[in-house]
Amino acid sequence: MELKEILESTFHSLPYGIVAVDKNNHVLLSNELGRAYLHLPSQAGVSLIESVENIPELDHRLREVAKNKQNPAFDLLAIPANGLFLTIRCRPISQGLALSIIDVTRSKQTERHMLHTMLEAQEEQRRKLSTEIHDGIGPLISTIKLNLDALKLELGQKPSQQALKMMESMSELLQTMSTEIRNISHNLMPNVLVDFGLVAALENLCHRLNSSGKVQVNFFHSGMRERLDLKQALGLYRIAQELINNTLKYAQANTINIQLIKHPSSVVLVMEDDGIGFDPAQLEKAPHKGIGLQNIQTRVKSLGGTFLLESQHGKGVLATVEVPTKNGSV
Ligand SMILES: Nc1ncnc2c1ncn2[C@@H]1O[C@H](COP(=O)(O)OP(=O)(O)OP(=O)(O)O)[C@@H](O)[C@H]1O
Ligand SMILES: [Mg+2]
């Protein structure tokens, strides 16, 4: 067999896609997998850029390469493309560019499944803890309150000023404790979310924050007629909780605006604050101890969505999460 034949049969039986294009982005040669992954027509000479408009990330990179004419090497890892997840690597060759394309859908799904399982176990623990606290400690506080009332009666008509003061302060402490415990239990597992959905749960959360008087929280929602599935609702709720928590901890903000908007095939959660802001790029450079933003990434990944956090010193924070709903993809 001639070398050319060997090369050709190797090229066509490779377990990944190969597409080579000339300097004008016209396809010089491609194997079957390459054409299948990118939905390319089989004739040579077609324009690659014009054929991959349905894969925006690849389209964008190829256009950049065509514009800049320098440093054409790039890697796109696990990008959504034609219903699959593809890893596409582009390298310069003497006549143009060569793209190698690997289907990583299975490993992406496995990763998503593992994240789901991990987060579900975490939620299950929270649910248990919430029930324990609510059902175990709640009644104890009520009993102490009853005993305190009974003690007042025991002390008769004229208890000393001192005793009255002590009882008053104990009563106040119990009230605070009871509110705190309800808040903790709520935060661990918002029953209102399970019973009435995400909009009700966020309304409830905002109401509790507004009553604390620390910050003004505005909540706006649109198109949320149908309930999301519980996994998505819980994920978005946890994300909102963490974003709000960060604002309360760091931002010194006066106002938080939260929006929840349903689009035909996705749902978008936007949170913005008017606080001191920060430089997100700094976090990537210098690893820090916090895990809140990382957890948001994990949750968004497990829901197959996207997370964008924009902030600058003095300009507040704008966080946008988009999650695909049934039949949708982001
Ligand atoms: N709304 C915000 N305003 C100002 N700075 C913020 C805001 N949100 C986050 N940051 C900055 O980003 C950092 C990372 O946030 P992240 O939630 O990952 O960690 P953390 O809140 O410090 O810890 P953890 O969430 O694990 O309790 C914070 O330490 C803070 O410096
Ligand atoms: Mg945090």
Domain residue limits, the chain: 3-103, 110-189, 191-330
Contact 214, 305 (CB under 8 A): no
Q: Is the CB of 292 under 6 A from ligand 1?
A: yes
CA-nearest residue, atom 23 of ligand 1: 290
Probe residue for ligand 1, chosen from 247, 250, 295, 318 as the CB with the greatest number of ligand atoms within 8 Å: 250
> How far apart are the CA of 156 and the centre of ligand 2, in A?
51
Query: pLDDT value at position 327?
Result: 52
Specify burial of residue 81 (Cβ count, 10 A radius: 0-12, 13-18, 19+): buried
Alpha helices in 189-321 (DSSP H): 191-196, 198-212, 230-246, 280-285, 292-302
Looking at residue 206, what is its pLDDT? 93
Q: What is the whole-number distance in angstroms between the Cα of residue 63 and the centre of ligand 2?
A: 38
Helix (H) or strand (E) holding 5: helix 3-13
At 275, the amino acid letter reads G
Decide: pTM greater than 0.85: no
Query: Could you give the CA distance from residue 59 to residue 73 in angstroms, rounded to a whole number?
Result: 14
Residue nearest to atom 25 of ligand 1 (CA): 292
**Class of domain 191-330 as given by CATH:** alpha beta
Divide the 330 residues of the chain into consecutive groups of 10 and give the mean pLDDT of each group: 87 92 92 94 87 92 86 90 94 92 94 88 87 83 86 81 87 88 84 92 92 90 92 94 93 96 96 96 77 89 93 96 75
- 3-103, CATH topology level: Beta-Lactamase (3.30.450)
∠ CA(66), CA(82), CA(294), 5° rounding? Answer: 85
